[in-house]
């Protein structure tokens, strides 16, 4: 990648310890931006003007980019030019006045508790695959972790005895409790099925696909959509729907926002406030509030 973007991405990775997903997002947004300004006859990002940046925002709007996508692009571009300015690679920051469009905050799609129960009861637990699928679905709903966090879990991240996982999201590590349903499902999978499914016995990855290699995001998306259809649930099912349902159900049952914020790994509590406006230690909150604890 040209125009100093590679150095910026390296800086984010080595100095800021940004997660893989964050790095991919910045790289994708900035590649798109570089392609645009090259098409406008500007081959050096340090020569970009405020007018050129504003024209790029209009280009994104005209091409149907959603406000949230434009806001993310603006954040990437502002961070990039701030890096260039801070390191004295430019004399003036052309992105300083860029403003993100207003985004109407919509409550995320969630499932009811009965729909979650139906979804989680779909895998055939008489098969190795069904036991694995049950463990994955139960753990996802029990902890509210992201799908990328789920598929990157290692065996050493799970403490079955005390009932918690350690989730490492790049620069932030958090401990998240899980209840008895997830514990039983994980116990069955780890102590019975995983040994049958894994192809490399030295692998530390918790979950594998049917070929015995680490589960992919796409593989899990297909899996959860399959069980959603099988359960007859009308809401489009994605891994994030279970994450949203986890948060909503905890708060509806009395969990305070700060505890849910910690479990979700939100840096800003305003992200958690989407689920409610509600005020209990982490384990006590979990045991009292989670429908499957």
pLDDT at 166: 92
CATH of the domain at 147: 1.10.443.10
pLDDT at 279: 38
pLDDT at 288: 62
Query: 166: helix, coil or strand?
Result: strand
- Give yes or no for a contact between 78 and 95, defined as CB atoms under 8 angstroms apart: yes
pLDDT at 234: 87
Asked if residue 108 belongs to a domain, the reply is: no
CATH of the domain at 40: 1.10.150
pLDDT at 278: 37
pLDDT at 1: 41
pLDDT at 269: 58
Q: What is the DSSP letter of 103?
A: -
Same domain, 14 and 51: yes
Same domain, 125 and 43: no
Q: Estimate the share of the chain in helix, then strand, then coil, as percent rounded to the nearest 5.
A: 55, 5, 40
pLDDT at 257: 77
Total structural domains within the chain: 2
Q: List the one residue out of 64, 74, 63, 62 whose CA is nearest residue 102.
A: 74
Domain end position, chosen among 48, 71, 86: 86
pLDDT at 121: 96
Asked if residue 124 belongs to a domain, the reply is: yes
Q: With a cut of 50, which residues of the chain have pLDDT below it?
A: 1, 277-281
Rg (alpha carbons) of the chain, rounded to whole number? 22
Same domain, 134 and 264: yes
pLDDT at 202: 83
Same domain, 81 and 13: yes
pLDDT at 276: 58
Give the tokens for residue 199.
């192809």
Helix 282-289 vs helix 239-252: crossing angle, to nearest 10: 100
Note down the domain range covering 65.
5-86
Asked if residue 92 belongs to a domain, the reply is: no
H/E run at residue 95: none
pLDDT at 203: 85
Same domain, 201 and 126: yes
Give the tokens for residue 127.
């098969």
Same domain, 70 and 123: no
Residues 6+ apart with CB under 8 A from 240: 108, 146, 147
pLDDT at 274: 62
pLDDT at 115: 95
Residue 128's Cβ-side half-sphere holds a number of Cα atoms within 13 Å equal to 15
């Amino acid at each position: 990648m040209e125009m100093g973007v590679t150095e910026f991405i390296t800086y984010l990775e080595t100095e800021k310890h940004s997660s893989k997903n964050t790095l991919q997002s910045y790289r994708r947004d900035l590649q798109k931006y570089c392609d645009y300004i090259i098409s406008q006859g500007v081959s050096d990002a340090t020569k970009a003007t405020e007018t050129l940046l504003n024209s790029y925002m209009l280009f994104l709007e005209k091409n149907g980019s959603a406000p949230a996508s434009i806001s993310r692009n603006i954040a990437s571009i502002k961070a990039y030019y701030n890096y260039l300015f801070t390191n004295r690679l430019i004399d003036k920051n052309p992105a300083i006045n860029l403003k993100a469009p207003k985004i109407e905050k919509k409550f995320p799609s969630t499932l009811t508790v009965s729909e979650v129960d139906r979804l989680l009861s779909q895998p055939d637990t008489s098969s190795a695959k069904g036991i694995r699928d049950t463990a994955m679905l139960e753990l996802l709903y029990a902890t509210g972790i992201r799908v990328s966090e789920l598929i990157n879990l290692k065996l050493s991240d799970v403490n079955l005895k005390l009932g918690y996982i350690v989730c490492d999201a790049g620069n932030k590590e958090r401990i998240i409790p899980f209840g008895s349903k997830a514990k039983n499902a994980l116990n069955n999978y780890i102590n019975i099925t995983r040994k049958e499914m894994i192809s490399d016995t030295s692998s530390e990855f918790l979950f594998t696909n049917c070929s015995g290699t680490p589960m992919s995001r796409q593989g899990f998306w297909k899996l959860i959509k399959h069980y959603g259809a099988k359960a007859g649930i009308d809401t489009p099912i994605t891994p994030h729907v279970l994450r949203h349902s986890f948060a909503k159900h905890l708060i509806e049952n009395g969990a305070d926002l700060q505890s849910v914020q910690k479990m979700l790994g939100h840096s800003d509590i305003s992200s958690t406030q989407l689920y409610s406006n509600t005020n209990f230690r982490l384990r006590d909150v979990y045991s009292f509030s989670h429908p499957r604890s």
